[in-house]
Structure 1
Amino acid sequence: MNLPFILDVSIGLIFIYLILSLLASEIQELLATVFQWRAEHLRKSIEVLLTGNAQDAEQARILELANQIYANPLIQSINQQAKGILVNIPRRLTWTMASTYRSMTNIQSDKKQTVFNNEKVGDSRHSGPSYIPSDVFATSLIETLEIPTIEQSLSSTRLDNFKNQRLAEIENVVFKLQEQVGENEENEDFFNFLYQSYSEIQADFEQVVWNFQQNKFDLNNSIGSMIASFDRFIESLKVNSPLPQERLSNSLQQLQFLKNNSMPSVENTISRTGLKPNVREIAQAIKRGTDVYQELTSALQDKDNQVLQRMEKIIDRLPPSIADNIKDLAERAELNINNTQQGVNALRQEIEHNFDNSMERASGVYKRNAKGVALLLGLIIAAATNADAFYMISRLSKDSALRDTITQNAGQIVLQNRNQLGYVDINTLRSQTDEALNQIALPIGWGDANLERQLSWTSKQRRPFPIWRIITLMPGWIISGIAIAMGAPFWFDLLGKAVNVRNTGRPPASTVRTEE
């Protein structure tokens, strides 16, 4: 027994396992598509991510939150479903099979309300996405929790308080000026001018707050408008006042001091007064009992009951464990930012990072599960095709014609894919092996030719099939099942290396690189 003979037998065995592995991968892909294994695994992984340290009593609310996230238009746009009568006929069959599979696997009653075809969240789709980008998930979670609305409400409340404080300070200066000038008829024009000027700045400040509440202005524009209005008020007193400037000098200095102290610049004002809530405060706003929650609810009770009701509804359906997780993410995000303007964006990035880590772990779990399914399919295919490893080795070692035919076809397939031995398209490889099968009678199957050699029995014989002798085939099936589960890419790569070793004129690529 020489080396070329061993290589030919090995190439023949590898080629057979390559074909059977392609069959297994096709079946596994079909099962994954019909039963939506990827989409189902992704949904469960997201539930695990949201669950964290949640108690069993919170499971229903976590499932509801997951459904709300899946109902977000960003995620729904990822889940593309074909349209049309002819296209939907086979899809309805797969939907029915997938629905039956999920109803059998989801034993608990609360688990039956999944994101697929869930009427509670208005989702009439029968499938879910098998992949969700981290930025889409983070944005969907933030929108589901209405964090931008909470941030806007908190900023609006603080801006309104800031407005009232500044107007109260200005009003105090105006009253002192009134006492200083004295109330008499000759100062009536000045008082009318003073009250009109104060009414104008008051109206300007009120308009700024209203514009911010209506999302017409951001905080920068709002504070900038207040600063400009304050400057106009001071300038108007200087230029248009009926009184001499020397009688207004103290009041003007006080107003200028108040303006410089409370509103030195847009960025400085926002930073010092906390008008833009930081990411930690936003996270605390959705957790009852915190100072920020009390601040916001107290301000909204008399002003905007609709926003307060929406906020309370969000908190009611938010499990405490998730609120704690978001608070932890916010604290980590706060360590990575330099100013408050990046707060929500930093929280979004932290959620993306956390989601990526979770999906990486989920991918490992899915691959392990897929390996288990591949092993089961490999054993079934080995038994169904009677792929006895010991018998195949025996046939290949004794039948030189079979050995040469397989070696020749295997060499052609490797030659056709010589530029992509590291990776080959499965569909292309499947097409090439199908052509080769038309020329080869592989030593597998339940035909008389194989059964006569394996069990000394054919269908033409009158005696019954020796079922008990199948036990002798099982060790070979088990070996073949394990080999099939290793996957087509593994066997194709091994086939390429074996063919290159056999063709001494072309050593393996690794050898060429070493010599170079």
Structure 2
Amino acid sequence: MGLPVVLDIALGLMFVYMALGLIASEAQEIVSTMLQWRAEHLKYSIEQLLAGGQSADRRAARRLADQIYNSPMVRDLNYEAQGVIARSARQIIHVVGRIYRLLSRTRNVFGDQTSGPSYIPSEAFATTLLESLQLEGLQKSVVEVRLKRLLQERIMLPLGDTLHTLRAAIGDGALLDVELRNLEASLEKIFLDYRTGRTGLAQIADRVLAELDHFADQGAQILPESYGATQAFIRRLGYLRSQLAGGMDMSEGLVRQLQPTLKELLALINSSDRNERSGELASVRQSLEGKLPLRLKESLSLIAERVTRRTGRADDQLKVFQQELEQWYDRGMDRAGGVYRRNSKIVGILIGIAIAAIVNADTFYMANRLTVNQAVRTSVIQTIDQVPLETMLSQSDDANSNNTGLSALSDDLQDLGNAVQTTLSDYSLPIGRSPKLLATQAVLEADWALPIPRRWFGWGLTGIAVSMGSSFWFDALRRVMSVRTSGSKPTRTSATANDESSVTR
């Protein structure tokens, strides 16, 4: 057997693999769409990411994942086509999905919904997870508690005690009474403005310090300068103001005292101390009770440590924390994508074996017939010669690089499909279940030593080859064709010409 014959046999097998690969790819895509494998795998992967691989945390991870999927940002990613035909097709898919889950005894990962998105961007996941953790709400609640304590315990209470001492020294029980009430009303208004979201934290700090300065100026104008108690009162106001700033820039220092860090927020969420859970922050913490898996808390704490090392500003930490969550999600989805590709490969092999068994595409038998039957081998090569493989490859590269040549490539792929269909219908390829083919196959299996039929191994080999995809065999076909046509064209004998003419008649 010469090299040209070996190449022709390889081309014949590759052609059959490519034809069956087209069918297998379409079948796998239909099954994947009907059973929503991509969307289900994504939901399972997110639950696994949140649970951290711990079976004990799966229930909490499912609840949190359901909450993420029910958020508007993620729910809007589940696009569904409109129209009567599209709705009917979608209903069929939903019915098939319910039957599949009933037979496989698996749960509906989408909960009350019938479908979910097949892709969730990292930004949408991180934003939705932060909303589920209520970090911004918890941060605002902590600032409100600290601001209220600061205004009452660190400003009004010390001012009242100092003013009481001054009044006793001077003998005026109503001294600065009106000014103190005005200060209290101004500070209460500042607190309400922050609670209602009218003013930011930086502006709050500036306003608090401005009100203290205004009160000190009023006291300096009203109080007699000759009394030592007056000077002590002014010094006390200055000391109180410096204590609020914490020895830093006045406004920045006050903001840092009021705004909790990311580690403090996560510590409040993870805290199991009942005493800490009492008070004004109890409602926020109780809403997260039981919703966060233990491994997720550990992961968030590690990410918070990394964020703290990167930036010390509390107002920037949430932004950096969201970026870290996005990277954490991307890494998890990369691993999940590898798992999905492996599962898809297994399914592709099973589909390929099923198609090979249905059409009786036995690799051993096909190789034998292509070896001994020159007419079948020649018919396949003639069909392949009709397809401009080099032109299609160059157009495919251009389409992938700059989105050009798509229409020409589509036309050539259509020609390839027509050529495949013509060959399968007009020539006796060594596949199928005709009585003559089955009889020949049985004769070849007569000397098979193993108890398992040889065609089963042939179907398995064909299924594995088909699962590699039609694009793989298309590229291999092009390479073998280039090797075959690189040498001189063999001279056809009269016998070969007669065989070919008999095939084409």
Deviation of 1:26 after TM superposition, in Å, equals 0.9
Distance 2:472 2:124 in 1: 34
User: Within 5 Å, which residues of 2 pair with 1:349-364?
Assistant: 349-364=323-338
Label 1:19 to 1:314 Cα distance change in 2 as closer, same or farther (>3 A): same
Aligned 8 A contact 1:11 1:495 in 2: yes
Q: Which residue of 2 aligns with 1:136?
A: 124
Q: Secondary structure at the match of 1:202?
A: helix
Stretch deviating more after TM superposition (424-433 or 153-162): 424-433
Distance 2:105 2:74 in 1: 23
Q: Which residue of 2 aligns with 1:313?
A: 287
Q: Which residue of 1 aligns with 2:36?
A: 36
Aligned 8 A contact 1:396 1:403 in 2: no
Aligned 8 A contact 1:134 1:356 in 2: yes
Deviation of 1:83 after TM superposition, in Å, equals 2.9
One-letter amino acid of the counterpart of residue 313, structure 2 = N
Aligned 8 A contact 1:39 1:128 in 2: yes
Q: Which residue of 2 aligns with 1:150?
A: 138
Q: Deviation digits for residues 135-168 of structure 1, max 9, x if unmatched? A: 2112212212222211211111111111121222
> Which of the residues 446, 451, 463 maps onto 2:433?
446
Distance 2:85 2:7 in 1: 51
Distance 2:410 2:17 in 1: 16
1:160 pairs with 2:142: no
Stretch deviating more after TM superposition (359-368 or 211-220): 211-220
Aligned 8 A contact 1:12 1:406 in 2: no
Q: Deviation digits for residues 335-389 of structure 1, max 9, x if unmatched? A: 3323222232233233222222221111111111111111111111111122122
Q: Deviation digits for residues 9-36 of structure 1, max 9, x if unmatched? A: 3223212211111111111111111101
1:283 pairs with 2:266: yes
Q: Which residue of 2 aligns with 1:46?
A: 46
1:340 pairs with 2:317: no
Q: Which residue of 2 aligns with 1:95?
A: 94
1:492 pairs with 2:477: no
> Which of the residues 93, 111, 114 maps onto 2:109?
114
Distance 2:481 2:30 in 1: 31
Deviation of 1:171 after TM superposition, in Å, equals 2.5
1:219 pairs with 2:214: no
Q: Which residue of 1 aligns with 2:502?
A: none
Distance 2:412 2:168 in 1: 96
Distance 1:421 1:494 in 2: 15
Distance 2:108 2:465 in 1: 40
Deviation of 1:95 after TM superposition, in Å, equals 0.5
Q: Secondary structure at the match of 1:183?
A: coil
> Which of the residues 255, 266, 281 maps onto 1:270?
255
TM-score, with normalisation over the residues of structure 1? 0.81
Q: Secondary structure at the match of 1:79?
A: coil
Q: Deviation digits for residues 283-335 of structure 1, max 9, x if unmatched? A: 12122435xx744x4431xxxxxx63353132144344443443333233323
1:375 pairs with 2:349: yes
Aligned 8 A contact 1:329 1:347 in 2: yes
Distance 2:291 2:222 in 1: 61
One-letter amino acid of the counterpart of residue 445, structure 1 = G
Q: Which residue of 1 aligns with 2:210?
A: 228
Aligned 8 A contact 1:387 1:445 in 2: yes
Distance 2:164 2:184 in 1: 15
Aligned 8 A contact 1:201 1:229 in 2: yes
Q: Which residue of 2 aligns with 1:299?
A: 279
One-letter amino acid of the counterpart of residue 345, structure 1 = K
Q: Which residue of 1 aligns with 2:159?
A: 170
> Which of the residues 200, 203, 212 maps onto 2:185?
203
One-letter amino acid of the counterpart of residue 180, structure 1 = A
Unaligned runs of 5+ in 1: 119-124, 301-306, 458-468, 506-516
Q: Secondary structure at the match of 2:279?
A: helix
1:254 pairs with 2:231: no
RMSD (CA atoms): 3.0
Label 1:373 to 1:113 Cα distance change in 2 as closer, same or farther (>3 A): closer
One-letter amino acid of the counterpart of residue 286, structure 1 = I
Distance 2:24 2:313 in 1: 55
Q: Which residue of 2 aligns with 1:473?
A: 455
> Which of the residues 422, 425, 431 maps onto 2:414?
431
Q: Secondary structure at the match of 1:286?
A: helix
Q: Which residue of 2 aligns with 1:501?
A: 483
Distance 2:437 2:382 in 1: 18
Q: Secondary structure at the match of 2:119?
A: coil
Distance 1:55 1:375 in 2: 30
Identity of aligned residues (%): 29
One-letter amino acid of the counterpart of residue 11, structure 1 = L
Q: Deviation digits for residues 158-210 of structure 1, max 9, x if unmatched? A: 111111212223333322332333228xxx6xx2xx22222222222111112
Aligned 8 A contact 2:244 2:253 in 1: no
Q: Deviation digits for residues 26-51 of structure 1, max 9, x if unmatched? A: 11111111101111111111111122
Unaligned runs of 5+ in 2: 401-405, 445-450, 488-505
Distance 2:108 2:474 in 1: 43
One-letter amino acid of the counterpart of residue 446, structure 1 = R
1:416 pairs with 2:392: yes
Aligned 8 A contact 2:40 2:109 in 1: no
Q: Which residue of 1 aligns with 2:496?
A: none
Number of equivalenced pairs: 462
Q: Which residue of 2 aligns with 1:401?
A: 378
Distance 2:102 2:212 in 1: 66
Deviation of 1:97 after TM superposition, in Å, equals 0.8
Q: Deviation digits for residues 96-135 of structure 1, max 9, x if unmatched? A: 111222233345xxxx36324x1xxxxxx31011111122
Deviation of 1:94 after TM superposition, in Å, equals 0.6
Q: Secondary structure at the match of 1:335?
A: helix
